[in-house]
A and B are shown apart, each in its own frame.
Chain A
Amino acid sequence: MTTEPADPPVDVATEPPASDHTDVPLAVDTVTDVAPELGSPEVLSSAAHGFPWVRAAAWVVVFAVLIILPFTMAEFRVEQMCGWIALAIAACGLNILTGYNGQISVGHGALYGVGAYTTALIVTNWQWPLLLATVASAVVCFVTGLLIGLPALRIKGLYLALVTLAVATLFPLAIDQFASFTGGSSGLSLTSPEMYRGAIRDRPVRFDPPGGLASDQWKYFIFLAIAALCFLLSRNLIRSRVGRTLVAIRDNDTASEVSGIPVSRVKIIAFGVSAGLAGIGGSIFALNSGRVNPSSFTIAVSIYFLIAVVVGGAASIVGPAIGAVFYGVFIDIITPELPESLKPATPVILGVILILLMLVAPGGIVGLWKVSMHKLAVRRARSSAPVT
């Protein structure tokens, strides 16, 4: 479990020469993140100054931006950001499974789809309250995740990736197959009967905003709150006993088994929780776009989740959110502005950016942040340390 022990702060302060730890990229892939209390950067800075000002300031800025943004953007931009929120939640789910538990899934696009279709069907056919449909989607996906997780007990690594790949590939086909209630490749609209032009007709569902807010702003805040809740719960889960067993299994499942961890149970539950989050993401996707369509849930979507996780920083809680924003900005804001001749090369451009990013920051954006914070702390500690 402790392959790369965290250095006690004392070390840094008393050891001036640039030894290995300045160079060691604090790969987020270590225990450090599971128990940040022990990790060097935070402890260093807070030990020195009592309160992690940089971190706190960063959070305040991030939240301020998140709250102010929808008031300055056009409606379709706000809806795009709602899409990023959906992506972030699903990526957070994938991260619990892949980042913390070491199980690779390329099938989360399908679970995202299950969540979206569950919400669409419930809302349109039974007129449930919208957020109740989100809860139902989470439950349905949790159960689906448990089922998909069953093979994960026997296989891992590449083989598990292949099984989940099959799930991702099959999902759009299954939607086509059961076209009578899924709408097939025409998709489904989220509607409710309403009076319109002299008759009761199916009209698109919407969130009724309280005074002063536009409908898109209101739904953005609702989705943001759901996302905050999901991330908070994930953080608590990861920092709990269960979280530690997840990481222990990832790092060495035989040793975990020997230490008395119920490996199979934990693995299955990791799959379920992860799928449940993907379902919430999918549900938000459906509520946001008002329409679900099998081509929104192809294998490519599963890859986007992986991109979000890896770019943001696997095995860090906020990483997937950062990765989702990175991906969203690239696809929704940068791509449409590219000159017409470059547009077909969009995947290549994304690929090159990913390669460069992985070269510079193998731990993702969060990893990069941690490394630089660490260096900063070391420099500070060094300059304040008495010369011996």
Chain B
Amino acid sequence: MNTTVKRLSVVLIALTLVAAACGGRDDDSSSSDDGGSDSGGESASGAFINPDQDCTDYKGTQGITGDTIKVGTIRPASGPYAIYDQVTAGLDAYFKSVNTAGGVKAGDGKTYKIELVKGDDGYDPARTPAVAKQLVEQDQVFALVGNIGTEPSLAIRDYMNDNCVPNVSLGTGSPLWGDANAYPWYISALPSYALEAKVWVDYIEKTNPDAKIAILYQSDDFGESYQKAITKAIEGTDITMVAEQSFNPLGGTTTEAAVTQLSQSGADVFIVGIGGTPCPNTLKFMPESWKPMTFISITCAGKTALSLAGGKDQGVYAAQTTYDPSDPADQSNPKVVEFVQQASAAGLDQNQIQGGISSAGWGFGANFATALGQTETVDRAGLMNALFSLDVPAFGLLRDDVTIKTDGAEDPWGIESLRVVQREGQGWVEKEKMVDYNGQSNSFKGE
């Protein structure tokens, strides 16, 4: 038996040696790895990202073939957060729409068609890395666009950053994306949740200076960013946080018990830092006897989500930055008219067009296309550099008084204008005019 083992090991060692001698990877195109990493510093003077310095294996033009740019997106197509699949539907419709119109004119003067590949992670950060790697390495996408979910996006941040693959138009406004020096391949297409919280608190302070806040938040970075930012924003005011409850989005339970408990706290302000269908369900669980000022996340403030609240959405407050295609007040706005027309031509149905979720995805697509039009070189670093030096008028369904400005790590947030609105019927009533907080979003982040 011993000789068997010996013979086997000899064969195996021989095999290992042969394999090691072959070395490398057969399918590796080993693109632009030859550039010395110490030569950098001078190219693209002043640009935010310099791939020669920041990347070890930079594949700047992966996903661009001829006049097509292939991008990927990751969203939950299943589970309680599956309503965000409509974001992707909107993103898809936007790209279809521009492709039909000829494509996106990029900074190099060429016009590109955009191809979208979708991945599904079920909002589970444990599943996201595999999906992202498959999109980047197997489908060979140029970038990820319009990803959903703070935790899922966080789960792949190291991977994307390490491989110098852009993850842009993020469908999450976590303050985490404000650390652009450490993670320069990430940029959001939502206002920072911390800014949102700041805007709420300012409004609360104005209308109810002694407010007692009860907060329900997802026990993840999404929910906690609201909780932390509110804690920071109420410092130095007479507002107090009287009750807190967290909710595990993957726990398979509802928020009912937490809402009931919070309703007993005597709070007169209720903050709902919850996304997906659990958000409208939370409103539904509120007992009739409890009538606080209720604030909901921007990720919940649309018809699709709120129609699930069983009428309890009336009177809730939100911070808003876009036109709402279902709001009677916005119906005649030229941007909305154009959106409705183009989106239905691209295959979105009436519910999706009105729902407020697909229109967000439409905006994420517009954000990407706008940046592509501003690129100096059409490659991954060029895209990021354009996104980090934007100065453009409102695109997509953003309200006309919103301006988009970014400036590298100093100001990594594009959308920093919000107004406070209150739900009435199928629309919103403005309670506080649009305020521009350009360059300040990072300062509202709580600890």
A-B residue pairs in contact (CB < 8 Å), sample of 9: A63-B11, A63-B12, A64-B15, A75-B25, A76-B133, A189-B158, A291-B158, A295-B250, A332-B130
User: B407 to chain A: which residues have CB within 8 Å?
Assistant: none
Cβ of B101 < 8 Å from any Cβ of A? no
* B146 CB, min distance to chain A CBs, angstroms: 19
User: B111 to chain A: which residues have CB within 8 Å?
Assistant: none
* A333 CB, min distance to chain B CBs, angstroms: 11
Cβ of B286 < 8 Å from any Cβ of A? no
Query: What is the bound-complex CA distance between A295 and B127, given in angstroms?
Result: 9
Query: What is the bound-complex CA distance between A179 and B217, given in angstroms?
Result: 15
* A329 CB, min distance to chain B CBs, angstroms: 14
Partner of A213 from the list B12, B23, B126 (CB cut-off 8 Å) is: B23
User: B125 to chain A: which residues have CB within 8 Å?
Assistant: 187, 293, 295
For the complex with contacts A64-B15, A214-B24, 10 further pairs of A-B residues with Cβ separation under 8 Å are: A67-B19, A68-B19, A75-B133, A176-B219, A187-B151, A191-B158, A201-B182, A204-B158, A211-B23, A289-B129
Cβ of A56 < 8 Å from any Cβ of B? yes
Query: What is the bound-complex CA distance between A296 and B125, given in angstroms?
Result: 8
Tell me if B's interface is mostly helix, strand, loop or mixed: helix
Residue of B nearest to A336 (CB): B134
Count residues of A near B (Cβ-Cβ below 8 Å): 48
Cβ of A237 < 8 Å from any Cβ of B? no
User: A45 to chain B: which residues have CB within 8 Å?
Assistant: none
Query: What is the bound-complex CA distance between A179 and B159, given in angstroms?
Result: 23
User: B11 to chain A: which residues have CB within 8 Å?
Assistant: 60, 63
Given A56-B8, A176-B248: A185 touches B22 (CB 8 Å cut-off)? no
User: B100 to chain A: which residues have CB within 8 Å?
Assistant: none
Query: What is the bound-complex CA distance between A120 and B151, given in angstroms?
Result: 18
* A221 CB, min distance to chain B CBs, angstroms: 8
Cβ of A16 < 8 Å from any Cβ of B? no
Near B by CB (< 8 A), chain A positions 176-198 give: 176, 179, 184-187, 189, 191, 196-198
Partner of A71 from the list B25, B78, B129, B134 (CB cut-off 8 Å) is: B25
Query: What is the bound-complex CA distance between A291 and B20, given in angstroms?
Result: 29
User: A340 to chain B: which residues have CB within 8 Å?
Assistant: 77
User: A380 to chain B: which residues have CB within 8 Å?
Assistant: none
Cβ of B184 < 8 Å from any Cβ of A? yes
Residue contact B134 to A59, C-beta cutoff 8 Å: no
Residue contact A56 to B4, C-beta cutoff 8 Å: yes
Which among A56, A75, A79, A343 has the highest number of chain B CB atoms within 10 Å? A75
Interface string of B151-166 (1 = CB under 8 A from A): 1001100110010000
* B246 CB, min distance to chain A CBs, angstroms: 9
Cβ of B137 < 8 Å from any Cβ of A? yes
User: A197 to chain B: which residues have CB within 8 Å?
Assistant: 53-54, 181-182, 184
Cβ of B443 < 8 Å from any Cβ of A? no
Cβ of B2 < 8 Å from any Cβ of A? no
Cβ of A72 < 8 Å from any Cβ of B? yes
Given A56-B4, A74-B27, A185-B151: A293 touches B221 (CB 8 Å cut-off)? no
Near A by CB (< 8 A), chain B positions 98-141 give: 120, 124-126, 129-130, 133-134, 136-138
Give the interface of A toward B (CB within 8 A).
Answer: 51-52, 56, 59-60, 63-64, 67-68, 71-72, 74-76, 79-80, 176, 179, 184-187, 189, 191, 196-199, 201-204, 211-214, 217, 289-291, 293, 295-296, 332, 336, 340, 343-344
Residue contact A295 to B26, C-beta cutoff 8 Å: no
* B14 CB, min distance to chain A CBs, angstroms: 10
Which among B4, B124, B151, B158 has the highest number of chain A CB atoms within 10 Å? B158
Cβ of B206 < 8 Å from any Cβ of A? no
* A318 CB, min distance to chain B CBs, angstroms: 14
Residue contact A344 to B78, C-beta cutoff 8 Å: yes
Residue contact B155 to A185, C-beta cutoff 8 Å: no
Query: What is the bound-complex CA distance between A64 and B220, given in angstroms?
Result: 44
Partner of A186 from the list B22, B120, B129, B221 (CB cut-off 8 Å) is: B221
Cβ of B433 < 8 Å from any Cβ of A? no
Given A199-B181, A343-B120: A186 touches B126 (CB 8 Å cut-off)? no
User: B220 to chain A: which residues have CB within 8 Å?
Assistant: 184-186
Residue of A nearest to B119 (CB): A336
Cβ of B16 < 8 Å from any Cβ of A? yes
Query: What is the bound-complex CA distance between A67 and B8, given in angstroms?
Result: 14
User: A179 to chain B: which residues have CB within 8 Å?
Assistant: 219
* B51 CB, min distance to chain A CBs, angstroms: 12
User: B134 to chain A: which residues have CB within 8 Å?
Assistant: 76, 336
Residue of B nearest to A79 (CB): B133
Query: What is the bound-complex CA distance between A179 and B246, given in angstroms?
Result: 13
User: A189 to chain B: which residues have CB within 8 Å?
Assistant: 158
User: A51 to chain B: which residues have CB within 8 Å?
Assistant: 4
Residue contact A196 to B151, C-beta cutoff 8 Å: no
Residue of B nearest to A295 (CB): B126
Query: What is the bound-complex CA distance between A336 and B74, given in angstroms?
Result: 14
Given A56-B7, A74-B137: A67 touches B16 (CB 8 Å cut-off)? yes
Partner of A72 from the list B8, B23, B26, B184 (CB cut-off 8 Å) is: B26
Question: Sorted from nearest, which 8 A-B pairs have the closest CB atoms?
Answer: A212-B23, A76-B133, A296-B126, A204-B158, A295-B126, A76-B137, A185-B220, A74-B137
Query: What is the bound-complex CA distance between A63 and B12, given in angstroms?
Result: 7
User: B20 to chain A: which residues have CB within 8 Å?
Assistant: 212-213
Residue of B nearest to A216 (CB): B25
* B424 CB, min distance to chain A CBs, angstroms: 35
User: A336 to chain B: which residues have CB within 8 Å?
Assistant: 134
Residue of A nearest to B125 (CB): A293
Residue of B nearest to A344 (CB): B78
Query: What is the bound-complex CA distance between A52 and B1, given in angstroms?
Result: 9
Residue of A nearest to B180 (CB): A197
Residue contact B162 to A204, C-beta cutoff 8 Å: yes
Given A63-B15, A76-B138, A295-B250: A71 touches B22 (CB 8 Å cut-off)? yes
Residue contact A80 to B130, C-beta cutoff 8 Å: yes
Residue contact B133 to A186, C-beta cutoff 8 Å: no
Query: What is the bound-complex CA distance between A75 and B130, given in angstroms?
Result: 11
